[in-house]
Structure 1
Amino acid sequence: MTDTRPLGADEATFIAAVRSDDPARFALVTERHRRELQVHCYRMLAHYEDAQDLTQETFLRAWNKRESFRGHAALRTWLYRIATNACLDFLEKRNDRTPVPAELPGSGSEVLYLQPYPDRMLPEDPQESVVARETIELAFIVAVQHLPPRQRAVLILRDVLGWPAPKAADALGLTVASVTSALQRARVTMREQLPGRRLDWRSPASHELSDDERGVVKSYIDAHERNDLDGLTSLLRDDLRFAMLPEQGTLTTTARDAVDGWVSGGLFRHGHDDWRGITTTVNRMPAAALYLRTSDDPGYRLFAIAVLHVVDGKIAELTGFDAAGKPWLGLPPAL
């Protein structure tokens, strides 16, 4: 299926760039789509660094296929089609690997590969930001990963990007009936995998943190800085869902048992750890970037980022990520 709309300015500029055979001119036209394509790849892959690589692969494939673009479809549609199929090819290869799996908060089974997404890399266009806000939270990203790759692609193209069934079928080389069937199955799986406390994957209209969320993050950081284990315990729901990636497994546990486990695991060494923290956001969610100073190092070094889901002033889900050596998070490596 092709669009019958007149050739737009974006498409005309792109065709002119193709005819010039100038890589720099080609890059100038396609670069404006980088952020939205990278978010698309992240939804497919749940891994920020892989999404970066696949976005670059999308531009390489677009350059190699540039002569095939005739402007019958929008340039944006053409690039999304290339990106989706590049991700499907990557997933086919990635499924042959055998990494350590990790079960994530809010899911009933294990999910492979998850990295947080820095908010500063989300699309700047207001309309795109709304789309990202509704479908970038960890709960949604985790749920999507339970879908087979083609169902995943169908759900994202149809329910996230809002593509009609014929357009999605054309992009994936499927029939409309196949796309419709895949979408129905995908929606059933999504409802099964999304956390029970959420009726759907849509977050509040504003992407700014609420006062409640900011207060909880501040208290979470303060408890670390004071080594206040009782204060930390008081912030956690008794049905806390906790995971620290890339370690395997997640816990649904009481607040006291969770903190006791962190102490026995060496995160709080008899109250002598020296912590500092800063409030941040990833995946449009409240987060605390934690810095640790040890006896053999005078500086506070970036240690972890704790992504929080706050319900009624308490932390209901906590997903921790190793943050050291990840400059793309946009966090200072030391304080």
Structure 2
Amino acid sequence: MVDAGSLGADEATFVAVVRSGDPARFALLTERHRRELQVHCYRMLANYEDARDMTQETFLRAWNKRESFEGRAALRTWLYRIATNVCLDFLGKRDDRAPVASGLSEPGSEVLYLQPFPDRMLPEDPQESVVARETIELAFIVAVQYLPPRQRAVFILRDVLGWPASQAADVLEVTVASVTSALQRARVTVRGRLPGRRLDWRSPAAHVLSDGERGVVRAYMDAHERNDLDGLRSLLREELRFAMLPELGTVVVSAGDAVDGWVSGGLFQRGRDDWRCVATVVNRMPAAVLYLRAPGGLEYRLFAVAVLHIVGGRIAELTGFDAAGKPWLGLPAAL
């Protein structure tokens, strides 16, 4: 350990806590970084539940490695180093955390393990780079999953968090040249996976929903609760990109075919036509939480989360997440 007097205030306090061996004080000092570390793990893993688990693993590993903190980097950087390597270790042990072939007629793949990230769990400071809307939206998170794990880490550290190449190289224990090369390849891949979307994710970005987006969500929920199929059709762009995770098969369909497909699948038919909806925000995107009451039931039970990408006042992409029968994202199980 270094002399605490030569460190910054946070680092000096951390060194003193480490020397004291007090786990409660250690937790108090590191806990304030939990939310941004959880977002970092989420970008690496695209799965909210995994991100929570790996964030907790980060704190456990930090406690076990506390004596290794030398003060050469800020406490926050040290924690990011641990979180990044926790995620890389996780990915190295799992063969189900990569995009898989879609099975559709056209070439493509799916990120079946994708989960939304509730905005209430984002860091509270809206100026933090870690919460920029363009770098937390589902399309961006999915695009990053096409990068190999270490390339993914380089891209997130450099282009999302804005770290210098030397700092990213230190975290990953590679050369600056390796970081620069990996970043160049990563940028090409991510740009290729975000056609027609904003590509400059490093410039200032919006953090809040527009009034128009909120209005579309209200109209979508109202149409759902009234089983108003014409109303639903009118809210969808003529070409809708639709997925219902974790099922395989993102499709691009017309508005009419989308609604007809939902009906043929049993929605809005007797027994699946008594809805209540709650507006929420996930990944800085508008979303509707759908609750369904079974015939004779006393409660509306959590059914799905519909995340909406709205363009020009209509829904261009609808990503549904099956939430039936499980506690999820801190949402109430019933209404």
Q: What does 1:84-99 align with in structure 2 at a 5 Å threshold?
A: 84-95=84-95
Note the C-alpha offset of 1:129: 6.4
1:68 match: 68
- What TM-score comes out, normalization by structure 2 length? 0.91
8 Å contact from structure 1 (residues 242, 251) kept in 2: yes
8 Å contact from structure 2 (residues 266, 272) kept in 1: no
Note the C-alpha offset of 1:108: 4.4
Note the C-alpha offset of 1:204: 8.4
Could you report, residue by residue, the CA deviation over 1:109-137 in whole angstroms, capped at 9, with x for unpaired residues? 22241111010100112332664433111
8 Å contact from structure 1 (residues 191, 200) kept in 2: no
Which consecutive aligned stretches of 4+ in structure 1 deviate over 3 angstroms post-superposition? 96-103, 129-132, 197-206, 324-328
Gaps of 5+ in 2: none
Q: What does 1:257-296 align with in structure 2 at a 5 Å threshold?
A: 257-269=257-269, 273-296=273-296
Q: Distance in 2 between matches of 1:126 and 1:118?
A: 15
Note the C-alpha offset of 1:334: 1.7
Farther off after superposition, 213-222 or 320-329: 320-329
Gaps of 5+ in 1: none
Q: Which amino acid aligns with 1:63?
A: W
Note the C-alpha offset of 1:317: 0.3
Quick one: structure 1 residues 183 and 130, their matched pair in 2 at CA, closer, same or farther if it must change by over 3 Å? closer
Q: What does 1:1-335 align with in structure 2 at a 5 Å threshold?
A: 7-95=7-95, 108-128=108-128, 131-201=131-201, 205-269=205-269, 273-324=273-324, 327-335=327-335
- What TM-score comes out, normalization by structure 1 length? 0.91
Could you report, residue by residue, the CA deviation over 1:177-209 in whole angstroms, capped at 9, with x for unpaired residues? 111000000000001111424444579844232
SS at structure 2 position matched to 1:127? coil
8 Å contact from structure 2 (residues 307, 320) kept in 1: yes
Quick one: structure 1 residues 283 and 178, their matched pair in 2 at CA, closer, same or farther if it must change by over 3 Å? same
Q: Which amino acid aligns with 2:121?
A: M
SS at structure 1 position matched to 2:32? helix
Note the C-alpha offset of 1:7: 1.3
- Aligned identity (percent) is 80
How big is the alpha-carbon RMSD for the aligned residues of Structure 1 and Structure 2?
2.4
8 Å contact from structure 1 (residues 100, 248) kept in 2: no
Q: Distance in 1 between matches of 2:306 and 2:110?
A: 20
Quick one: structure 1 residues 175 and 97, their matched pair in 2 at CA, closer, same or farther if it must change by over 3 Å? closer
